[in-house]
């Protein structure tokens, strides 16, 4: 809808109210504080409707420019904006990760998922079922991962990580020990005797850690807002 369209619709609105007997040209002119001949000429199209007079008419009837738009106008505008605005989408790893599956060698950049954020180090991963992580992954089948060196070099005790060991890429919690590291599953969180011992140094961590998990969600809910499709595991912006 153009500005001219809005003015023409506003004039049509006023004419309809006069035609229906709700207003008279004289009374309308008095309410606007202009002469009746001027109002008559404007309504007949002899004189141009100024911006100031347009605003006065909108204020008089408690209208906004949006009230002059049809639902079709608004829908077309939304579609046009959606087509031109950049889509913040993250590509998927080529294959899923989970028990028995190696870390994917490639990224499928044609297959993307809307996240509302984008960065070179972010990737999406499909998750294979993992019986030892059933509590954390309950109801979720995809994850947003950060593969940056910062996340891999300095793991957080509270973080969930994609790690590769023994030829398989799995999601695990990570805990530092005095001279080693441990991998934790849901079933072993409260049982240190069951923690998987890793005899590696901090310098060797990037060879084990592939990414930190930022978000867990459901691929079928891709059209919903991010907050309704899953859950963030920590404050992505501040961490």
Of 84, 105, 140, the residue at which a domain comes to its end is 84
Would the pTM count as exceeding 0.75?
no
Of 84, 111, 130, the residue at which a domain comes to its end is 84
- Structure token digits, residue 150: 């910062």
Closest-CA residue to 158 (of 189, 133, 187, 135): 189
- Assess whether 149 and 228 both reside in one domain: yes
Report helix, strand or coil for 164.
strand
User: CATH number, domain at 74?
Assistant: 1.10.260
- Assess whether 22 and 130 both reside in one domain: no
- Assess whether 164 and 181 both reside in one domain: yes
- Assess whether 105 and 197 both reside in one domain: yes
Closest-CA residue to 211 (of 138, 113, 107): 107
- Assess whether 42 and 27 both reside in one domain: yes
- Assess whether 218 and 136 both reside in one domain: yes
- Assess whether 30 and 138 both reside in one domain: no
Q: How many domains does the chain have?
A: 2
Domain contains 185: yes
What does the alpha-carbon distance between residue 191 and residue 60 come to, in Å, rounded to a whole number?
Answer: 72
User: Tens digit of pLDDT per residue, the chain (239 long)?
Assistant: 778 888 888 889 999 999 999 989 999 999 989 999 998 998 888 888 888 899 999 998 888 888 888 888 777 776 665 554 445 899 999 999 999 999 999 999 899 998 887 789 999 999 999 999 999 999 999 999 999 999 998 888 889 999 999 899 999 999 988 888 999 999 998 899 999 999 888 889 889 999 999 999 999 998 887 778 888 987 544 33
Phi-psi region of 55 (alpha: psi -120 to 50; beta: other; left: phi over 0): alpha
- Domain of 191, in residue numbers: 89-232
Of 29, 59, 84, the residue at which a domain comes to its end is 84
How many Å from the N-terminal Cα to the C-terminal Cα in the chain? 44
């Amino acid at each position: 809808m153009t500005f001219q369209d809005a003015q023409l619709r506003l004039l049509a609105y006023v004419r309809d109210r006069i035609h229906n007997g709700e207003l008279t040209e004289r009374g309308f002119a008095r309410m606007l504080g202009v002469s009746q001949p001027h109002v008559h000429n404007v309504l007949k199209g002899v004189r141009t409707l100024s911006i100031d007079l347009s605003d006065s008419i909108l204020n008089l009837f408690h209208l906004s420019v949006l009230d002059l738009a049809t639902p079709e106008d608004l829908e077309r505008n939304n579609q046009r904006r959606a087509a031109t605005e950049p889509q913040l989408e993250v590509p998927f790893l080529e294959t899923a990760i989970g028990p028995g599956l190696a870390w994917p060698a490639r990224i499928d950049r044609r297959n993307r998922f809307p996240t509302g954020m984008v960065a070179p180090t972010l990737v999406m991963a499909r998750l294979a079922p993992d019986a030892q992580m059933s509590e954390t992954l309950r109801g979720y089948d995809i994850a947003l991962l950060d593969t940056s060196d910062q996340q891999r070099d300095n793991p957080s005790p509270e973080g969930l990580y994609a790690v590769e060991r023994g030829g398989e890429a799995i999601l695990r919690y990570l805990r530092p020990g005095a001279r080693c590291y441990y991998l934790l599953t849901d079933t072993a969180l409260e049982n240190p005797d069951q923690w998987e011992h890793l005899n590696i140094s901090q310098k060797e961590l990037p060879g084990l850690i592939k990414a930190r998990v930022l978000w867990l969600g459901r691929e079928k809910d891709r059209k919903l807002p991010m907050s309704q499709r899953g859950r963030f595991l920590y404050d992505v912006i501040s961490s």
